Structure formats: C-alpha cells, structure tokens
C-alpha cells in the first residue's frame, strides 16, 4: 500500500451526480430522444411453454404507421452445439432469450417486435400479429422440473444420459465428509426453500438505437456495462463491434440485473431496417415478467460439530432455478456458503435447473444469499444444541489468513474475525429485547472480482482534472475516484471531474458487477495519476531548467528538492498547466490493465425482529451490519451500500416472491403485489465499517456492494425463531406462513 | 386507439345528462387515482371521461347541522383531513381514508372514488359502513339515498346505473360518547392493499354499549355490515368474552377467496383479531385515552 495522507480518502465529499439527479436533469436512457425517432414494441408469449407453429406479420405490417416487424429470423442464430461465451452469458441462450426460436419458454418471452411512428401504433400492431401455438405442458417450480416425467424445455440437454431440465452441476470438495461426520457429537440436517426475487430497480429497461446510413450504430441505454451492450448487440445483430458505439446513460438501479441485454439488439435491427432511430421502453409488467429475477431454490444443509464447537464436516446440496435457459448462479451458492469457516471436511454441490420462468440475471452476490441462508440457519441450530453463543461458534471456526477455502483459494489477510468481534462487542448484541422480539445473527462471504479497466486522466488548460473511466456508476464510483485522484495529486476534491466514457472514448472496461468497479478503476486511476505526476515534474524541470529527479510533487505543487530545495518558488498544478503548450503540449495519461488481486469480503449481521403473534407479521426493529470493506474511500457511499443490501435482504426474507398462477403466468407484476419493503417497513439500518486493507490494492480496497445481501436471510430467520420459538425453513416469511408456524400447523 | 372525450362538468345536471347519453361508455373522474391507472393499463376504455371536481357541491365539506356532515363525492383525502371538526368526530373514517396511497395520492383520491371503484378491499368503505353513512345519488330521475352497506353488488360493481352519479356522503349526526376505528392487515406498513379491513363504530353510556356497527372488507365479494355481531355488542360492557363472541360472528360472516394476497384460512382468522383490536381502540377514543 502507498503511504497516503488521507486528506480526501475517507471523506464524505459531495457526490458529483447529486445536483443533476435531485433537480431531474440527469439523463436516463428513456430521456434520450432524436429527430425522426420511431417507437418499438415487443410481442410477448401468452403461454409458459409452447411450440411456435407459425407467425404471420402481414396484418401488422399493413397497419398505417408501422415501419418494420421483426422475428427471430432477424436475430443471429447460435447453434445449440457450440457454446459462445461472453462473461457469464452464452450467446446460444441470449439469442433465444431476446427472441424466441421454435418454442416460447415462459410467459412474456419475446417473439416479435414492431417499429412504428408512435408507441400506441406499435402496440396495436403487436396485437395484429397472428401466432399459431402448440401449447406444451410446463414446469414452473424446481420439484416439477426435475420429476421423471417433467416436460423438457430443451431436448438437447441431458443429465444422467437422458433429456433433463438439469442443465449443469458444480461441486466443491475438501477432506472426507463421511469421516468428518463420524467424529461429530451433533449433526443437524435441514431442508430450505427460497422463492425467485427481482432486483427491483426503479428504472425499467429502455434504449434508443440509431443505425446511420453508413451502417454504424449508436446505442444509448442504461446498463451496467456499455462494452457488454456493444459486444452482445454485435453478436446478436452481426454488426461488427467496431461499428457500434454504446453510450451509457445514468442508471436508475441495476443490482446485477443490467449486466445483460433485452432490447438493444431488437432496437438495432429495427433501426437498421427502417433507417430511423428506434426507441423501446419496457413497462414494469414486462420488466417483472421477462427481465431477470434471481433464482428460487431448494437446498439441504448438513453440518456436524464436536461438543467443543468445532465444525468437523459440512455438506450443502443446492438446486437453483435458472429460468428458461441454463445459467443459474450455483457457483455463488456452492462456493460462498462455507467460505467464512475453516472446515476440514466439506462438500457442496449445485444443480442448475431450467423451468418455464424468465431467465435469471445476476443479483447482488448471485447465489451467495441462497447458499448462506441454509448454512447460517443450521449453524444457529448447532449453537443452540451446544448451548453456545452463535457468534462464539462462528469465531471458533472462522476462516483467517492462510485458511484454505472449500472453494479452493487460500485466504490472504482479511477481516472476518474482526466482524465477529465487533458484533460481540456491539451494544446492539447486548441490548434487552421486548415481548415477542428475537435477535438473530448470520455471516456471509462474497468473492469480489477484478478484471479489465481503463482510465484516462487529463489536466485541463485551467489546471483542473478530468478523469474518465469505463464503468457505469451504480454505487458511488465517481465520488470515490474523485477522492482518490484528489488525494494522489494533492489538490482539492472540487477540482476533479469524473466521467463515464462510452465505448468509443475510453478503453475496454469490463462491466460494473462483482463489486469490482472501485477496486479495478482505482488501480488504473492510480497508475494514470502516477504518470501524470511524472509529466508535471518534467514540465516544472523544463521551466526551472533543472533535472526532473530534483523535483518532488507535494500538496498539489512541484517543489525543487535536494540541492535545489528553496531555489525556486513552487509551481502549482494550475501554473504548470498554463505553460503546457510551451513545455511540450497537453498533459494527461491513460492506463489500462486486467486487474488482479480482488479479495473476498466478509460481513456479520445482527437483526432484531418483533412478531405480531396473532397476525404473523414480522417487523424488523433493529439491524446492524458489520463488514470488512478493506478501505472506505467514501464512507457515506459504503454505508449506503451496506444499508441497501440489508433492505433488499429484508424484502427477500419477509415479503418478496415471484408468484405464479395455475396457468403458469407471473401473478404479481407490479410493486403493489410484489412487495419490496417501503421506507416505513425498515428501521434505521446501522452499519459498522471494518477496515482490514486488501494487501493487493494501492488503497486497500475490497469490493463492498454485494456482501451486504448475503447474511440477512439467515439473520432474520434466526431472529424470528428467537421471537416465536419455532423455525421457518422457507422464504419469504410472509404473515400467513408465520402464523401457521406459530399455530403449529 | 379509440379516442376519449373529456368533459369538465360544471353542474350535477350536466354531468348526469352527459353520462346518461353516453349509454354506458362514460366514466366519472374525481381524483383519478383508480380510473387513470385503469385507462392506462387498458382495463377500462371509456369514450367519455366526465370530470366532476368542478361541480361545487361535489367538492364541498358541509356541516349541515351541529355535528352532522355531508362530504362531497370528489373531496380529496388531503382536504378532508384538514377539517379539524370532521377528523375529531370520525377518526376511524379518517384513518381508513389516510391509508389510501401515499401523500401525493392523498392530494387527489376521494372517498367517493374509493366507494365507486367497487373494490371489496377499498379501505374507506368498511369505515363508512360502520359510520352508518348514506350515499346520495343523482340520476335522470332526481336524487336518491342508499346506505353504504347496500352500495356494492360485487367486485367492481355498484348500484349506480347509467346516468347515476354519487353526489355526496351523508354522515349521521354524531352522538356524544361515540367513536370509531379502522384497522387493516397488510404485509407492508404502507403503500399496500388490505388483506382484511375492519371498521367499528360504537357508542358507550356509562360503560355500556348503546350502539354498535361492525364492518369487514376484503373477506367477501363486497364489504360487509356484520349485523348480528353488531347487535350482540349492544347492552354489554364489551368485555373480552363478548368480544370473543363478536369476533366469532365476524369469522362466520367471512366468505373470502384464496389469492396471492391471502388465504381463506388466514383472512378469516385475521378478521377476528382486527375486530377485537379495533373495538378496543374505539373504546379508548371515547374515554379520551
């Protein structure tokens, strides 16, 4: 780590996007408009599973105002036998998800799109498209999808030698679990169930695409990665990447759900065909029906421990819904669930199960909350059986520097135990509880990621700084990068502007996800700043006519050092910038690298609930999340990430769920019946920031954004148990379900 | 894309005549918090929307005699809530009305609209039934009055016929030693729809109940006045044994459905719980606690 003065790092500076957002001027993707623009609308399947016998678009095309109608024939086909991987997606599934081929696989699956002069005409034209279906039996839940006689979604997918909806598996093994369980004094095995939940971003998907007469496409859209948008659109339309420019808009929430495209390829093809800019905006209903939730799951967790509290063996078997196409986050469930613990014998196994639901997309630590839910609940039961404090039990078994994790790596220095100590010593943990109140704890881990990042740091003519990076800012990266740049250059934070470049103005940058953005972009910005500081020293050397080695950069100015110390008055950044033309030209530098050294993050949460014993309503009364964040570059934003994750976890645990009706249709496509918590449902969500710097990062940064969603499901479940004396093994703990548990039915 | 005409009526006659002429294709618009959403989502496609907010009588709160109120059908929640005397006399009606939507919605939503929307789960309706409120309706043949408990015919259906319009809600003269209360069960604390709603309105003289009305919402195709439950409260001191009996009669009166918002079993149990809790709140209010 660099020695740093911490004048700006760790300060709650004013967020650069704040004024525009609170005054309604920030440009989100649906704010974008162009002369000559027309509107697209998507026709979606009314059935959960059906063969498409024919699609007749003639009547739609004949409607006045309609400019083009497209179907899967207009989207590049990727044959089923050849995987084409881009990030966590496979183009075989992507091409079929954005536009159904041969079969529709979920209610809401797109199968045609129209461009017309108005939104209303495009919508009416969709009604005029005649589709002949052969309706097939469907499977929505995991149990139904893995039955022997289950309707098969994809004939080519085989498991144990026959067609199956189990599309893949993943396994981690350490030691010998049979041997481990034989040594256990107490063994607890339980079954758990969770429902699919949506990321719940307020801004629905939308885009505007203009394909010009020369064939070059410009895409304005809200996503977590303009380069991802460019690459996927290129794959799915056949337009070369270099002929596509993707411009990121401000983003109204993503949480992982905007690491994928739905509309951009369709709007691109429609624009290509009509020669007009095409805009498509998804409404809330379509967003709920057809954009990714995260998986529902069923799992079995078995843990054995000796009487002194040492875990000797653990096993986790996970089935995760993938939706209509393979790719559920089994890695997050099987990989993260046991990571906080040093367990000699462990085995985790994940099944990727397809069913007639919308394809899942990433959601904050994908799979890890599901993994931690069962493990952290069973640990609570082990602690109870051993009459131990649940935090002490975790401490006895805590992973630390040098522990080999079940999923493979050996941990470097990290702060899990610090979160446990902070929880044990927190006033919350000792506070008295009222009637029908209970307290639960749980821990959680997320991998965090590195990957490609690019930055450009330019000194303006008037001596200020503009930094451009390539990652949409969904959690405070611009404010944090401004802090770091100000720190490194020794100037006031106000003098740094941070922008998000588009695919043509900044080098390739991997998408915003995996809690990677600040980790990675801080690294390339740090390197860029070092280069720029050297340039500034060179310019000062030229002005003074001395050797550049005899100059140091301090507090935003060049100072003569060594033998020359005191011989010249220091030159400020502004003074050097003013003479830039005479001393060699513009000052600025960029840096690009595939970053490595992202280390995992750990958290421990404490939750108090109160249960209405007559109505089964659970209310969270107090919540404290404690997390090792490496280094909090902008503490308010870090706190916001922790609170946001907890709020989403409270929703997942208590009230959010995808509800399908008997026809295989999603029955709660709006926020009235898809119950995300509202402000009054939540107490103040307290946070404790632990800083055990990541030794592999110049500022010590660890990813922050995803870990906070890992512990809440179990922390809340364990608290409900303490309040009512009975355990729930399924989520959400909705009032009817909780009342049934209380009444013992 | 059928065209929709908009008419801002100035008088009751103008509104009623226009509605009558439209032969079932017109809708009255008060705050629009239900209607506009229904039009936008394609559930309703009226050819004519008749805005009734500009009709003075419909937008007026009137104390016709001491402690006796008539509230215009399009008076907004925010406006009614600002009437200190009304809120003091009918705290149960106000707390039910206040539950409809957010602060912004409250600026538009009206008691009349909540009633005419015809939802079995409308929050203000059980409170209005418990209050003994009367709907004043104007139509081609003049005005008529209907008790709120007879206003609904089924989900989304009311007694209003073509050309008929809800003009106002007439509250009975408020007796001393009376109060009301409304409770609803929702999974969320706000911005939600009642799984069960329960309104009670009672009068106590020397700790003896002399008048009582109990109403339940969201447990049947229409909001219900639970007559037998109301009647057995009269002449008692509302002790816990009586409340158990009243709760059981409420449970018996329930005829709910299983849906995404609640099960039959759950809704029925909740009705009994809410009854007891809301009676206790009303008693507290009478005693000034």
Q: Is A668 on the interface with B (CB under 8 A)?
A: yes
Greater confidence, A345 or A550? A345
For residue B3, what are its two tokens? 């065209």
**What backbone phi and psi angles, to 5 degrees, belong to B66?**
-55, 125
Determine the average pLDDT of the residues in B233-252.
97
Query: What is the per-residue pLDDT across A519-539, written as a single tens digit (0 to 9) for each?
Result: 999 999 999 999 999 999 999
**Of B43, B105, B191, B251, which to mutate for an interface test with A (greatest number of A Cβ within 10 Å)?**
B191
How confident is the model at residue A1, as a pLDDT? 39
B42 touching A (Cβ < 8 Å): no
Quote the CA–CA distance of A609 and A617 in Å, as a whole number: 10
Residues of A in contact with B192 (CB under 8 A): 672, 675
A614 interface with B at CB cutoff 8 Å: yes
- Does residue B280 sit at the A interface (CB-CB below 8 Å)? no
**A279-300 tens-digit pLDDT:** 999 999 999 999 999 999 999 9
Contacts of A256 (CB under 8 A, 6+ apart): A199, A224, A294, A361, A362, A363, A364, A366, A513
* Per-residue pLDDT at A2 exceeds 60: no
For A678, the closest of B189, B193, B261 (CB atoms) is B189
CB proximity A202 to B under 8 Å: no
Round to whole Å and give the CA distance between B110 and A21.
32
CB count within 10 Å of CB A670 equals 12
A734 with B187: Cβ contact below 8 A? yes
Considering only alpha carbons, which residue of chain B is nearest residue A119?
B1
> Could you tell me the pTM of the whole model?
0.96
- Provide the chain B residues 164-203 that lie in CB contact (below 8 A) with chain A: 185, 187-193, 195
- Is a pLDDT exceeding 90 seen at residue A587? yes
pLDDT tens, position by position, A402-431: 999 999 999 999 999 999 999 999 999 999
- pLDDT the model gives residue B23: 92
Which pLDDT belongs to residue A6? 76
Nearest CA in chain A to B192: A672
Least Cα separation, residue A686 to chain B (angstroms): 20
| pLDDT-based confidence at residue A745 (cuts at 50, 70, 90) | low
Inter-chain CB proximity B187 and A675 less than 8 Å: yes
pLDDT of B3:
83
CA–CA dist A324, A49 (Å, integer): 10
Q: Quick one: average pLDDT of B182-192?
A: 94
CA distance A627 to chain B (A): 28
Q: Is the pLDDT of residue A395 over 90?
A: yes
Measure CB to CB from residue B262 to each of A654, A667, A736 and give the nearest one: A736
Q: How many CB atoms lie within 10 A of CB A575?
A: 16
Contact yes or no for A469/A442 (Cβ under 8 A): no
ipTM higher than 0.85? yes
Instruction: Spell out which residues of chain A touch residue B193, defining contact as CB-CB under 8 Å.
Output: 672-673
**Facing A668 at nearest CB: one of B189, B260, B263:** B260
For residue range A677-701, what is the model confidence (pLDDT) as tens digits?
999 999 999 999 999 999 999 999 9
Asked if A615 reaches chain B (Cβ–Cβ under 8 Å), the answer is yes
Arithmetic mean of pLDDT, A630-643: 97
Distance from CA of B257 to the nearest CA of A (A): 14
Gap between the Cα atoms of B264 and B219, Å rounded: 8
Average pLDDT, rounded, for chain B: 95
Report, as an integer, the average pLDDT of A187-199.
Answer: 98
Query: Would an 8 Å CB–CB cutoff place A739 in contact with chain B?
Result: yes
d(CA A319, CA A300): 9
Q: Residue A455 and residue A736: Cα distance in Å, rounded?
A: 52
pLDDT number for residue B1: 45
Residue A28 DSSP SS3: strand
Residue B2: pLDDT over 70: no
Q: Are the C-beta atoms of A654 and B186 separated by less than 8 Å?
A: no
3 state SS of A198? strand
What pLDDT, in 10s, does the model give residues A573-586? 999 999 999 999 99
- Chain A positions touching B4 (Cβ under 8 A) are none
Residue A631 preceded by cis peptide, ω within 30 = no
Whether chain B has a CB inside 8 Å of the CB on A126: the answer is no
Domains and their CATH numbers in chain B: 5-51 (3.30.43.10), 59-170 (3.30.465.10), 178-286 (3.30.390.50)
DSSP of A480-533:
HHHHHHHHHHT--GGGEEEEE--TTTS-----S-TT-HHHHHHHHHHHHHHHHH
Mean pLDDT, residues A42-55: 98
- Are A694 and A515 in contact, with CB atoms under 8 Å apart? no
Confidence of residue A5 (pLDDT cuts 50, 70, 90): low
Domains of chain A: 18-25+450-591 (3.30.365.10), 32-136+203-252+258-290 (3.90.1170.50), 293-448+599-743 (3.30.365.10)
Rounded-to-integer distance, Cα A265 and Cα A78, Å: 14
Q: Using the beta-carbon criterion (under 8 Å), do B193 and A615 form an inter-chain contact? A: no
Does A680 contact B270 at a Cβ distance shorter than 8 Å? no
């Amino acid at each position: 780590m660099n020695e740093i003065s911490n004048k700006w790092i760790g300060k709650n500076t004013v967020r650069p996007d704040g004024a525009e957002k609170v005054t309604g001027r920030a440009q989100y993707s649906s704010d974008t408009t162009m002369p000559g623009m027309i509107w697209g609308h998507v026709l979606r399947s009314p059935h959960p599973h059906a063969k498409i016998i024919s699609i007749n678009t003639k009547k739609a095309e004949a409607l006045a105002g309609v400019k083009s109608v497209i179907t899967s024939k207009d989207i590049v086909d990727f044959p089923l036998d050849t995987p084409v991987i881009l990030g966590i997606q496979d183009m075989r599934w992507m091409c079929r998800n954005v536009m159904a081929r041969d079969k529709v696989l979920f209610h809401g699956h797109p199968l045609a799109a129209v461009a017309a002069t108005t939104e209303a005409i495009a919508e009416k034209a969709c009604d005029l498209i005649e589709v002949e279906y052969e309706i097939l039996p469907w499977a929505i839940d995991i149990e139904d999808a893995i039955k022997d006689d289950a309707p098969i979604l994809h004939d080519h997918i085989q498991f144990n030698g026959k067609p199956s909806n189990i599309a893949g598996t993943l396994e981690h093994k350490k030691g010998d679990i049979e041997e481990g369980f034989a040594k256990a004094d107490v063994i607890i095995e339980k079954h758990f169930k969770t429902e699919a939940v949506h990321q719940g971003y307020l801004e629905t998907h939308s885009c505007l695409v203009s394909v010009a007469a020369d064939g070059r496409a410009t895409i304005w859209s809200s996503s977590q990665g303009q380069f991802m948008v460019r690459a996927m659109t290129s794959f799915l339309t056949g337009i070369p990447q270099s002929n596509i420019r993707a411009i990121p808009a401000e983003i109204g929430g993503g949480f992982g759900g905007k690491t994928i495209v739905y509309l951009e390829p369709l709007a691109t093809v429609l624009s290509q065909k009509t020669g007009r800019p095409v805009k498509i905006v998804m409404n809330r209903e379509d967003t709920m029906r057809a954009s990714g939730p995260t998986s529902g799951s069923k799992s079995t967790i078995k843990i054995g421990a000796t009487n002194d509290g040492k875990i000797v063996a653990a096993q986790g078997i996970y089935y995760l819904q993938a939706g209509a196409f393979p790719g559920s986050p089994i890695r997050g469930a099987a990989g993260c669930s046991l990571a906080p613990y040093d367990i000699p014998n462990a085995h985790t196994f994940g099944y990727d199960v397809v069913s007639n639901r919308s394809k899942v997309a990433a959601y904050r630590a994908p799979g890890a909350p599901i993994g931690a839910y069962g493990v952290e609940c069973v640990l609570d039961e082990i602690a109870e059986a051993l009459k131990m404090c649940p935090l002490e039990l975790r401490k006895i078994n805590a992973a630390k520097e040098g522990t080999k994790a079940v999923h493979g790596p050996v941990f470097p220095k990290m702060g899990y135990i610090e979160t446990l100590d902070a929880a044990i010593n927190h006033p919350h943990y000792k506070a008295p509880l009222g009637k029908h109140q209970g307290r639960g704890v749980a821990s959680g881990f997320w991998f965090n990621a590195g990957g490609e990042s690019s930055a450009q740091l330019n000194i303006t003519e008037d001596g200020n700084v503009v930094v451009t990076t390539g990652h949409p800012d969904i959690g405070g990266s611009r404010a944090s990068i401004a802090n770091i740049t100000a720190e490194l250059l020794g100037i006031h934070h106000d003098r740094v502007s941070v922008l998000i470049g588009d695919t043509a103005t900044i080098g390739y940058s991997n998408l915003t996800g995996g809690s990677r953005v600040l980790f990675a972009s801080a690294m390339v910005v740090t390197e860029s700043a070092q280069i720029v500081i050297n340039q500034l020293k060179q310019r000062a050397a030229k002005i003074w006519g001395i050797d550049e080695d005899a100059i140091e950069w301090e507090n935003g100015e060049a100072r003569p050092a060594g033998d020359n110390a005191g011989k010249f008055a220091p030159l400020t950044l502004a003074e050097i910038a003013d003479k830039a033309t005479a001393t060699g030209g513009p000052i600025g530098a960029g840096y690009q690298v595939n970053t490595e050294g992202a280390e995992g993050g750990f958290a421990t949460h404490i939750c108090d609930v109160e249960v209405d014993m007559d109505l089964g309503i659970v209310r969270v009364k107090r919540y404290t999340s404690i997390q090792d964040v490496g280094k909090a570059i902008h503490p308010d934003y870090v706190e916001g990430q922790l609170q946001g994750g907890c709020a989403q976890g409270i929703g997942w645990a208590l009230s959010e769920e995808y509800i399908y009706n008997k026809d295989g249709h999603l029955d709660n496509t709006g926020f009235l019946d898809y119950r995300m918590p509202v402000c009054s449902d939540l107490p103040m969500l307290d946070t404790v920031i632990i800083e055990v710097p990541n030794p592999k990062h110049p500022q010590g940064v660890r990813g922050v954004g995803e870990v906070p969603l890992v512990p809440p499901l179990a922390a809340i479940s364990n608290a409900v148990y303490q309040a009512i004396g009975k355990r729930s093994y399924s989520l959400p703990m909705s009032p009817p379900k909780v009342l049934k548990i209380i009444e013992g039915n | 894309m059928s065209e929709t005409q908009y008419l801002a009526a100035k008088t009751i006659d103008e509104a009623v005549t226009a509605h009558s002429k439209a032969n079932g294709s017109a809708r009255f618009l008060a705050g629009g918090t239900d209607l506009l959403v229904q039009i936008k989502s394609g559930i309703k496609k009226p050819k004519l929307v008749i805005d009734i907010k500009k009709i003075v009588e419909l937008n007026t709160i009137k104390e016709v005699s001491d402690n006796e109120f008539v509230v215009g059908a399009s008076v907004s929640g925010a406006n009614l809530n600002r009437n200190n005397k009304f809120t003091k006399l009918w705290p149960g009606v106000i707390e039910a009305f206040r539950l409809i939507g957010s602060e912004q919605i409250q600026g538009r939503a009206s008691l009349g609209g909540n009633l005419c929307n015809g939802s079995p789960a409308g929050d203000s309706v059980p409170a209005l039934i418990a209050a003994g409120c009367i709907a004043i309706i104007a139509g081609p043949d003049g005005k008529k009055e209907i008790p709120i408990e007879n206003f609904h015919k089924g989900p989304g259906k009311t007694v209003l016929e073509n050309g008929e319009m809800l003009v106002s809600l007439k509250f009975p003269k408020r007796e001393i030693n009376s109060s009301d209360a409304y409770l609803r069960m929702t999974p969320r604390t706000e911005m939600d729809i009642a799984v069960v709603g329960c309104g009670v309105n009672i009068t106590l003289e020397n700790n003896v109940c002399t008048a009582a009305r109990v109403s339940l919402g969201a447990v049947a195709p229409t909001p219900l006045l639970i007559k037998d439950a109301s009647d057995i409260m009269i002449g008692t001191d509302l002790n816990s044994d009586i409340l158990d009996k009243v709760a059981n009669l409420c449970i018996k009166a329930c005829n709910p459905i299983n849906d995404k918002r609640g099960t039959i079993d759950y809704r029925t149990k909740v009705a009994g719980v809410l009854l007891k809790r809301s009676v206790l709140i009303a008693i507290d209010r009478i005693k000034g606690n």
